[in-house]
Amino acid sequence: MLRNLLKSLITTFIIFCAGIIPVLGSPGVSDQPLWFKTGSGNGTTAVQAMAGVSGDDAFLLSAVSASGFSLSGFWGEGQGLSSLSPAQSFTQQEASLFHGEHEQPSHFTGAALDFLKGGFQFTSGVSQIGVLNVPDRVSWFAGATSESLVVQFSRVDGQESGVAHSAGLQMRLPFGIVQAAYTAAASDAVSTVLSWQLPLSRDLSLGFEFRDGHSTRFADGIYQRWVLNISGSLLGQETLFAREGGNTGADIATTALLAAGAVGVALVATSGSDGADNQLRFSTQHEAARNVLNGVNPTSVAQNLEYGGWVYRNPDNTFSATEPIKGTVDRVNIGSPTSVPSGYATATYHTHGAYDPKYDSENFSYLDITMNNNWGVDGYLGTPAGYYKFHHYLTGVITTLGTIAN
């Protein structure tokens, strides 16, 4: 007993001297974020700081607070920062509905203003997000937080107006905590989350969650999941309900969570380049190749010109095809495998134009097969008669997979 008491006193003394209070993220989430908070005191004017860490992600916010309001600046970097905010979190599959490259290294800076009114803490802010090879984006966000209610809105602006927007809601009710989140991108990709959590005891909760998403970019872009779970918590309250009764100053924990959620939406919903990542995505290589050949083969036959391009695997393990390149009557230059916009090339595809007695247009040529072997990729062919053929470079086997438009 004495040993446990001494251990508790030492731990309390270390935390008090360091001025740092660790706060865990919401229960039931893997790789829970770790938050650190420090401040100069509760005087009329105070300087506070808060840092969050989750996997490879880092977030730092510093604020100057006075009675009833605060002004803060924040910085961060990493990947998938939505994990820092339980209000706007995404699963791997949901994120892939928006872009194939939703986990690119990023950095961001921003500022926020908070003030208290009628028992609510109102927050508004803006952040600029940069990712290598992707145009910078600006994320605007606003929120209102009380002891029983959290509302959050964010909008992401890029090269096009209104690239993405989101809304989050969390309510503390007598029968549990209800949470809803909605995210939509200009590419017609949408994700919706509804959840309910009922505390069974101080450290145990029963949870129910429904997730739904769809995207026109992804041929299989429909995602639904129902989850029922029992989870434990080290906290007596959710981290989003950061304000406590009687507070006369803005709580930077609220600001940090809202800012992190807004950055997370921007990273996920607009992480790809709309100029380079606008192809449909398919579950298999065959489907991606057939889709593009079915679309271009009638044009190829009508013009008696070859068309071709690449099939590539996206970072989310789906497949896409590049836009068809126009060639000549007997060849097409599709460039090198490194020319694909993301991921890596896995196959070539091309057409053979119209029937011509000078060429064996219904079959792969020797040059077609040689080029596939040299590049180490498979090959797909659309023929004048409308056959869809496949060359497997590892075995050398050529098969007819079906028919396409001609």
Q: Note whether 307 and 324 are within 8 A (CB).
A: yes
Q: Are 164 and 103 members of one domain? A: yes
The reported pLDDT for the residue numbered 245 is: 40
Q: Are 237 and 325 members of one domain? A: no
The pLDDT profile of the chain, 406 residues, written as one tens digit per residue, is 545 544 444 444 443 343 333 332 333 334 567 888 887 755 567 888 989 888 778 899 999 988 788 999 999 988 766 567 766 777 777 777 787 666 778 899 999 999 998 889 999 999 998 877 677 889 999 999 988 899 999 999 876 556 788 999 999 888 888 999 999 987 678 999 998 888 887 777 788 889 898 887 776 677 788 877 776 554 434 445 544 444 556 788 889 888 988 888 888 887 765 555 566 788 899 999 999 999 999 999 999 999 999 999 987 778 999 999 999 988 899 999 998 887 899 999 999 999 888 888 899 999 999 999 999 999 999 999 999 999 999 999 999 999 999 9
The reported pLDDT for the residue numbered 216 is: 77
The reported pLDDT for the residue numbered 199 is: 81
Q: Are 155 and 195 members of one domain? A: yes
> Which DSSP string do the residues of 159-212 spell out, in sequence order?
SSTT-EEEEEEEEEETTEEEEEEEEEETTTEEEEEEEEEEESSSSEEEEEEEEE
Q: For residue 346, give the nearest of 317, 386, 323, 324 by alpha carbon.
A: 317
Strand partners, 393: none
Q: What is the CATH number of the domain that holds 374?
A: 3.40.140
Q: Are 349 and 319 members of one domain? A: yes
Q: Please check whether residue 12 lies inside any domain of the structure.
A: no
Q: Are 33 and 137 members of one domain? A: yes
Q: Are 233 and 169 members of one domain? A: yes
Of 217, 243, 269, the residue at which a domain comes to its end is: 269
Q: What is the CATH number of the domain that holds 226?
A: 2.40.160
Of 212, 236, 269, the residue at which a domain comes to its end is: 269
Q: Please check whether residue 15 lies inside any domain of the structure.
A: no
Q: Which residues contact 6 (CB under 8 A, 6 or more apart)?
A: none
Q: Are 218 and 85 members of one domain? A: yes
Q: Are 262 and 297 members of one domain? A: no
Q: Which residues contact 388 (CB under 8 A, 6 or more apart)?
A: 289, 290, 293, 294, 380, 381, 382, 400, 401, 402, 403, 404
Q: Please check whether residue 213 lies inside any domain of the structure.
A: yes
Q: Are 265 and 289 members of one domain? A: no
Q: Please check whether residue 5 lies inside any domain of the structure.
A: no
Of 269, 294, 315, the residue at which a domain comes to its end is: 269
Q: Please check whether residue 206 lies inside any domain of the structure.
A: yes
The reported pLDDT for the residue numbered 341 is: 83
The reported pLDDT for the residue numbered 405 is: 92
Q: Please check whether residue 2 lies inside any domain of the structure.
A: no
Number of domains forming the structure of the chain: 2
Question: pTM of this prediction?
Answer: 0.68
Q: Are 250 and 303 members of one domain? A: no
Q: Please check whether residue 4 lies inside any domain of the structure.
A: no
Q: Are 214 and 348 members of one domain? A: no
Residue 218 DSSP symbol: B
- Domain range enclosing 372: 285-403
The reported pLDDT for the residue numbered 175 is: 84
